[in-house]
Structure 1
Amino acid sequence: MSESYPALIRQLAELTARVEAQRAEAETWYADQCAAADRAVRAATEAVRRAEEEVAAATEEVEAVDAEAAHLWQLFRSRLGAAGRLGDPPAPAPGATAAPVTLLDGVRELIERAKRPEELPGSTNPLLVLFGVLGAAAAYALGAGARLVGDRYGGDLAVGMPVLALVVALLGPFVGLAPAKLLADRRHAALGPRPVAVVVAAGLVTTGLLFALVR
């Protein structure tokens, strides 16, 4: 026993050292695992925070796009005068890949162009000439009627009616602008300088001819 006691002491010391080493290794492994878990939790928390921010931004963008789409749809219905025939804005096109802002800018540009209608085409010139001729003729006929009333009843009417007749006749070239404007509105076009000039020129020629023929 006396000879084996030192050996047992050495064996016990070796076992104790081995246990301590294994304990230290386990504690190091545990600390590493805790640190890795903490890093994973922090990374997951940061990812969740970024995802929440992206969801909030996306929700805000969707709401803004929906509001702008509804506004543009209202402008479109007002422009066409079809508020009662058109319902809610159409749903997004399936499979669309373009950015909503780009699409909305395109729609806004189209509506702006629709707000600035083009001038009546040259193919309407004969009709515009007809409006000018008929307007001037109608005004001249009205003036002639006024002169007849003055001649018939005499007195102050004999003085005032010729003046009124002259004023009406001189305004005759512009009477055709009223139906020309209705035509432009029906065609969603603008009554620009050229159509106005055609109507007024036809009216002036007609008025001049009528004055010349009567005299």
Structure 2
Amino acid sequence: MNESVTEESYTAQVRRLAELTERVQAQRTEAHTWHDQQCAAARKAVADAEDQVHRAERNLAAARELQDRVDAEATALWQELRNRLGQVGRRVGPPPGPVAGAVGDPPVLLAAVRDLLARAGQPGELPGSVNPLLALCGVAGALVAYALGTVARAAGDRYGGDLAVGLPVLALVVILLGPLVGLVPAKVVADRRHALLGPRPAAIVLVAGLATTVLLLTLAP
């Protein structure tokens, strides 16, 4: 025989059912919230990972481009060095490869090498040890000019006429230009030493040539 349900027990059961329903709804809401948070975190992690992959790909491409540029410039600088060394440079071989543990920014290091090669390629001043050779160039130039002047004067005396008037004048001009003639061999000396024929070396040549010209004119009959 079924027991009758009292009003008080029915109310308690309804209240309990409502509490359970509310608790289940809260747990369901919490579960949905947690699920949404996890999905959002996963999507953010995927987006961050994709961004890192793209950034790594860009960095890799830039690094490869820099490597190719550095290799090309290093090869060009090495070839320039070999050309500067001449016969010795042909035995140097290919450019060296990367050194393990090397530090420094490659573009900065290459710029320093370019600057060093540029400064090494610029002609310098002639050393003082070549001063006697420069003076000899001046003396030789004056002697050559004097010899040409003497030949021209002799030709004027020999053929007479207008030549007897014009050639002595020409001979005098040639003799007076004698100190300048010495600058020609002096320039050859400077070029072979990869140096500049500056004011000091030129002055030595001109003074020696002028002194020789004056001496020759003084001793001339």
Q: Which TM-score bucket, shorter chain as reference?
A: 0.7 to 0.9
User: Which segments of 5 or more consecutive residues in structure 1 lack a partner in the other structure?
Assistant: none
- Which has the higher Rg, Structure 1 or Structure 2? 2
1:129-153 deviation per Cα after TM superposition (whole angstroms, max 9, x unaligned): 1111011101100110111111111
For the residue of structure 1 that corresponds to 2:196, the secondary structure is coil
Percent identical pairs in the alignment equals 58
Given that 2:74 and 2:95 are in contact with CA atoms closer than 8 Å, whether structure 1 keeps it comes out as no
Taking a change above 3 Å as real, the CA distance of residues 174 and 2 of structure 1, as seen in their structure-2 partners, is farther
Establish whether residue 174 from structure 1 lines up as the match of residue 142 from structure 2.
no
Q: CA deviation at 1:101?
A: 2.3
Tell me how far apart the structure 2 counterparts of residues 30 and 93 of structure 1 sit (CA, whole Å): 52
Match of 1:97 in 2: 103
Tell me how far apart the structure 2 counterparts of residues 119 and 158 of structure 1 sit (CA, whole Å): 46
Given that 1:117 and 1:189 are in contact with CA atoms closer than 8 Å, whether structure 2 keeps it comes out as yes
Q: CA deviation at 1:198?
A: 0.4
Establish whether residue 207 from structure 1 lines up as the match of residue 213 from structure 2.
yes
Tell me how far apart the structure 2 counterparts of residues 183 and 207 of structure 1 sit (CA, whole Å): 22
Tell me how far apart the structure 1 counterparts of residues 22 and 93 of structure 2 sit (CA, whole Å): 81
Q: CA deviation at 1:30?
A: 2.6
Given that 2:81 and 2:117 are in contact with CA atoms closer than 8 Å, whether structure 1 keeps it comes out as yes
Match of 2:170 in 1: 164
For the residue of structure 2 that corresponds to 1:164, the secondary structure is helix
Tell me how far apart the structure 1 counterparts of residues 4 and 86 of structure 2 sit (CA, whole Å): 114
Establish whether residue 46 from structure 1 lines up as the match of residue 51 from structure 2.
yes
User: Which segments of 5 or more consecutive residues in structure 2 lack a partner in the other structure?
Assistant: none
Q: TM-score normalised to the size of structure 2? A: 0.77
Tell me how far apart the structure 2 counterparts of residues 45 and 70 of structure 1 sit (CA, whole Å): 37
1:75-100 deviation per Cα after TM superposition (whole angstroms, max 9, x unaligned): 6677x3959x6699835542432112
Match of 1:117 in 2: 123
Tell me how far apart the structure 1 counterparts of residues 96 and 85 of structure 2 sit (CA, whole Å): 21
Match of 2:42 in 1: 37
Tell me how far apart the structure 2 counterparts of residues 81 and 159 of structure 1 sit (CA, whole Å): 56
Aligned length: 214
Given that 2:125 and 2:197 are in contact with CA atoms closer than 8 Å, whether structure 1 keeps it comes out as yes
Tell me how far apart the structure 2 counterparts of residues 166 and 93 of structure 1 sit (CA, whole Å): 68
Given that 1:69 and 1:89 are in contact with CA atoms closer than 8 Å, whether structure 2 keeps it comes out as no
Establish whether residue 27 from structure 1 lines up as the match of residue 29 from structure 2.
no
Taking a change above 3 Å as real, the CA distance of residues 152 and 71 of structure 1, as seen in their structure-2 partners, is same
Larger displacement relative to structure 2 (28-37 or 204-213): 28-37
Tell me how far apart the structure 2 counterparts of residues 70 and 162 of structure 1 sit (CA, whole Å): 62
1:153-199 deviation per Cα after TM superposition (whole angstroms, max 9, x unaligned): 11121111111111111111011111111111111111111100001
Taking a change above 3 Å as real, the CA distance of residues 204 and 81 of structure 1, as seen in their structure-2 partners, is farther
1:194 maps to amino acid: R
Establish whether residue 184 from structure 1 lines up as the match of residue 183 from structure 2.
no
2:173 maps to amino acid: V
CA RMSD after TM alignment: 3.5
